[in-house]
Amino acid sequence: MSIALKKLLPISAAILALPATPALAQQDKIPSERAERGLEDDFHNDDMIVVTAPYVEHLDILAGTSVLSGDELAEDLRGQIGDSLTGLPGVSSTSFAPGSSRPVLRGFQGPRVRVLTDGIGSLDASNTSVDHAVTIDPLTAQRVEVLRGPAVLLFGGDAIGGAVNVIDKRIPRDIPDDAVHLDAVGGYGSAANDWSIAGSVDVPLTPKLVIHADGSFRDTDDVRVPGFVLSPALRAEVLAAAAEETEEGHADEAAELTDTANLSGRVPNTASRTETAGAGIAFIDDGGNLGFSVSYYDTDYGVPARPGSGHAHGGEEAEGEEEGPVTIGLRQIRADLRGGVNLGGFFEALNFRAGYSDYEHTEFEGDEIGTVFSVSGIEARAELVQAEHNGWRGVIGSQVLVRDFNAIGAEAFVPKNSIESWALFAVQEVDLGNWEAEGAMRFDQTGISANSIGFDRSFNTLSGAIGLAYAPDDSAIKIGTNLSRSERAPSAEELLSNGPHIATQAFEIGNPNFITEKSWGGELYARWDSDDVQLSATIYANLFNDYIFEAETGAEQDGLPVFQYLQRDATYYGFETSASVVFARAGGFDFVADGVADYVRAKIDNGGGAIPRIPPLRLLGGLKAESDRLDLRAEVEWSASQNKVAAFETTTDSFTMVNASAAWRPFGKDGNITLLASANNIFGVNARRHASFTKDYVPLSGRDIRVSAKFSF
């Protein structure tokens, strides 16, 4: 049994008796709120899916919520959750490689964005480095909720940027009416020869007991790209190095560099293969529910190398042999628990949620093992939901996390460490007629220790938010404001990194003396929600004291560029807008125009320059014809150039991509089959996401024709 599990068993037993967090285990209500792009609530178009609890659903503190589900989720399925969400307002992606991509929310990434499974962290190593995959398979997701702004206090004070909550059915939420209920989705994408399939089955054993099983498989080749693989700036740098080698009489080295500079068509070493499996059981009746699941995630993927990079082992330069390509083999076994008890009285329900993970991934250099990373941990949370009384309702909650992290190998850039944290929080809402007021408060205590280097520190953080909204009677408009104060403890990687990291080809240096990061945040928003028009606009700002960021220094160590974590004051500000308007109806079709625009500016105060890897201004607009059986859509996405860059960071050119899609339901919306087809990047534009660590040598895919089918019966 792991150290983490031994430490947490008494704590997790106690937490179920404590007040709690916003669990996502409510059994009797489907959210009525439409997503910002007018998306469907139900992935399978049946009555089985129930997600966000009602007291969370209507909180105006959740003004920055987007939802992806239904056909739109099926069309956007990619290997990693970060690449499936980039059409939503304020969302970009790290796009390190097709096998590894986390969401970027309002310019924030890493530990400031929590990636959750049904309200519990993914319990992997994806937040420790951009090359580490997220162990959530979008193929098995029913619904994805993206939370930005003060809402994330419900899930963690450190998630200043936001949270992505992926909801699946591994612990069933309802008893299906059918004797056997089957769901399946499968597809093919041409840009990477991407084959994928997933399926699930739910079987009621009794009127109150249901079992579930699911599995998925995805296999891709190296991704196809238009034009040169290297960006113009990096290609010029490599060609200059080739010319220098020629002058020095090194013909073989010059030829190799020239070939690298002229590489086109495919990005080498970007293939991937992923398999998942899961099973669950749940007891559900009028008095409450209790469910348990186990799951397995297995993936192997390539890590593309930066041209001209080299690295050392144990401080000595590797000589005399050529290293093979870097690949990562990743495995996770996970167990999850969810339950709730209907209490009645002042507290109407007690809900609880827990997850345990045993995770390991190995970074290979060719056939040789480089470094092995392992994570074992438990996260548990519980909640007491207050019954509504005179317009007042809310929830009080608690949360516990214990995680053991270890890296073994010549390039273990972070020492073995443990994290123990617990939190208490409360969210309250008051309905004052045309006015609504909300408040949230969260206290976290986080301990980080690394015995091998004698490191042991504890951080106490306090975060809070207040919100006020106005909605006139019988009106579709709502306007509001939120003010938040967040505090985040430094992560173990920010404190303890000190060494070469093979996959990112960087020498990373932390600072064990960092203090907590503080932020004041504010939002102003307006929403219009009527039958034919949905509009949303938000402007926001975050003022940081002691902001922690990783910057390239220009130095080299062990043949690698040095990236050092620094702590300075910083400012973020920006806006997000979305719109969906039905502008005509004819021939059984609704004709819809929709669009998204977002922008963020982030800089270090007092002339410190731009914060690295901040997405530029982005505009996305589309036209859609919707009917009972057929949906047709065309869209254009334009991303501005990013010239506001940090020292040693390269700029990124603007790009415009054109996409089109169609969804056909042969038996109508109440049927059980949807066939989908899409053409992405139709004109083969060479495009790069500025938020990506690897943008200069891993462009986005070229023209990608995708076909898929979704069944539910």
Region for residue 315 given its phi and psi (left: phi exceeds 0; alpha: psi -120 to 50; beta: otherwise): left
> 3-229+267-712 is classed in which CATH architecture?
Beta Barrel (2.40)
| Both tokens assigned to 642 | 């990013």
* 524 vs 540: CA distance, rounded Å: 7
Residues facing 526 on adjacent strands? 479, 537
Q: Tell me if 429 sits within 8 A of 142, measured CB to CB.
A: no
| Both tokens assigned to 601 | 């500016």
DSSP secondary structure, 397-449, as one string: EEEEEEEEEEEEETT--S--EEEEEEEEEEEEEEEETTEEEEEEEEEEEEEEE
* Nearest residue to 551 (alpha-carbon basis) of 488, 616, 506: 506
* 267 vs 98: CA distance, rounded Å: 10
- Residues 620-653 as b/e (b if ≥16 CB within 10 A, e otherwise) read bebebbbeeeebbbbbebebbebebbbeebeebb
361, 363, 368, 370: CA torsion to nearest 10: -110
Helix (H, G, I), strand (E, B) or coil at 597: strand
The pLDDT averaged over each successive group of 10 residues in the chain (713 residues) is 44 37 32 35 33 43 64 73 85 88 90 88 85 83 77 78 86 91 93 94 95 95 95 94 93 92 94 96 94 96 80 44 79 96 91 95 89 94 90 91 91 90 92 89 96 96 92 89 93 93 84 96 93 94 96 88 94 96 96 97 94 96 96 97 94 97 91 92 96 93 94 89
Q: Tell me if 133 sits within 8 A of 332, measured CB to CB.
A: no
For position 582, what pLDDT does the model report?
97
Q: Tell me if 278 sits within 8 A of 293, measured CB to CB.
A: yes
Q: What are phi and psi of 295, to 5 degrees?
A: -150, 160
Q: What are phi and psi of 51, to 5 degrees?
A: -125, -115
Amino acid at 626: E
DSSP secondary structure, 117-157, as one string: ETTEE--SSTTT-TTSPPS--GGG-SEEEEE-GGGGGGT-T
| Both tokens assigned to 221 | 């080749």
* 491 vs 487: CA distance, rounded Å: 12
Task: Count Cα atoms within 13 angstroms, Cβ side, for 317.
Answer: 9
Q: What are phi and psi of 57, to 5 degrees?
A: -55, -40
The domain spans of the chain are 3-229+267-712, 230-266
pTM to 2 decimals? Answer: 0.87
The CA-atom distances, in angstroms, between 579 and each of 13, 363, 528, 595, 638 are 46, 44, 9, 5, 16
| Both tokens assigned to 605 | 């105060």
H or E element that contains 631: strand 630-639
* 381 vs 16: CA distance, rounded Å: 8
